[in-house]
Structures are given as structure tokens and as C-alpha cells.
Structure 1
């Protein structure tokens, strides 16, 4: 009986240890596209995947790019914004890009218009420019 209880105790300890490792992650980055805490999210769908821009309460945003064919999800761009009128459905934002693929850069500030939950945006590295508000640019739709 002692052997059985000892084996049961060891099995319980191993199970508890396993649950401890599986219950949480030491990673706090949300580049998996979950973006918890976002006030709004807008997605642009491409042939190879999606780009989703998340707007946060601290007036920052990030663009998470997902390419299922390559099993890739990561942060593409980051920046800041300020709502100058309206809201995330119909409004205007002062919009800046400050980082691309982890590298700091200084793009100009632009006035981004959102109409009926849609905005148009293109970000270029060379030269460092942000183009907005033209329906020929990438179309981001509110989720």
C-alpha cells in the first residue's frame, strides 16, 4: 500500500508541475495578433495574408502582419495617433509612423480620415512617406 501511495504522490507532483508550465507564458508581447486592450482594429486583406492595425488607449498603434503561407505573424509598423475629431468609425486622426520592423524612423505626421469604418493607407520606407485618404491605397476595414 505504501508503494501505491508513493507512486500516486509522485504522479500528482508530476501532473502539478506539468500544469504549472502549461498554464502561462513568460511572453508579454502580443505580436500573435491577439492585441488585447485595443480600442479599435482595422484589417487590410491581401493575397498572401492580412495586416491588422490596432489602436490603443495610450495613443499608440501597431500593424500586425500575418502570412499563413509562410507561417508568419509579426509586428510590421508602430506609431502614434491622436483623434482630432469624431471616433474610430467616422473621424480624423493625426497619424504618425515611428518604427518599421523594430527600427526607428521619422515619417511625417498625416491627417488620416476614417469614413464608415474604412480608411486608406500606404506606408513607404524609401522615401519615408505615409500616403492616406485615396481609395487607390490599401483599404483597411474596421473589425
Structure 2
């Protein structure tokens, strides 16, 4: 009986140690960042762009070209009606590649989990709601 209890105690210690290692990760940020409420992806210019909308009313756009991911644009938003499936939000571009911008707010319409958007690098311009623009689809 003593051997059985000893073996059971050793097995429990090994299992606890294994769970401890499995629960830790080098890429865990501890939950300190904002949570994404929605993400939309567009296939553009030989790669993809993904826009994340966060619970703190900010958004970020990441460009993925051949596996290389860069933060491209960021800004703020406010939902004025509906939600991220069918709704309207005021959408402001604040930053491009780490450089602060002074662009105005555009009213972005989301219909059936899709919106159309184009942000111009060479001018203070944002176009929205036109099907000839880049199409972003909710993930």
C-alpha cells in the first residue's frame, strides 16, 4: 500500500509540473492590451491587410506581404449605429507608419460583414463606401 501511495504521489507531482510548464508561454502579454472586437481582412497589393477594431475604440491595420507583417495605419472609431456586421462608424486615421496624421473622420458603412475603404499614402485622403475600393471582409 505504501508503494502505491508513493507512486501516486510521484505521478501527481509530475502531472502538476507538466501543467505548470504548459500554462506558460513566452508570447503571453498578460492580457494587458485591448481585446479585438472585430477583424476584417482585404487581399490587396500582393498580400493582405487586416484591420482590428478594439474595445477601447481604437483600430490598427497590419499589412502582411510574403509573411512579413507591418503595422500600417491606426486610429480611432465610434459606432454610430448597428454593429460590426451591419452598422455605421465614424472612422479616423490618426497614424501611418508611426507618423501622426491630421486626417478627418469618414463615416464607414458595414453591410453584411463587408466594408470598402482606401487610405491614400500620398495625400490626406480616405475614401469609403464605394465598391471599387479595397474590400474588407469580417473574419
TM-score (norm 1): 0.74
Aligned positions of 1:103-142 closer than 5 A: 103-142=99-138
Aligned length: 114
Match of 1:12 in 2: none
Q: Which residue of structure 2 lines up, in the alignment, with residue 10 of structure 1?
A: none
User: How many angstroms apart in 1 are the aligned matches of 2:45 and 2:100?
Assistant: 28
Aligned to 2:88: 92
For 2:34 and 2:101, how far apart are their aligned partners in 1? 26
Counterpart pick for 2:43 among 33, 45, 48: 45
Contact 2:36 2:55 in 1 (8 A): yes
Query: Which whole-Å CA distance do the structure 2 matches of 1:105 and 1:139 have between them?
Result: 23
Are positions 1:56 and 2:58 aligned together? no
Gaps of 5+ in 1: 1-18, 29-34
Deviations 1:92-141 (A, max 9, x none): 00000000011001111010000000000000132211000000000000
| Corresponding residue for residue 5 of structure 1 | none
TM-score, normalised by the number of residues in structure 2: 0.76
Deviation at 1:72, TM superposition (A): 1.0
Q: 1:63 to 1:25 in 2, by over 3 A?
A: same
Which whole-Å CA distance do the structure 1 matches of 2:37 and 2:136 have between them? 15
Q: Which runs of 5+ in 2 are unaligned?
A: 1-20
Q: Secondary structure at the match of 1:110?
A: strand
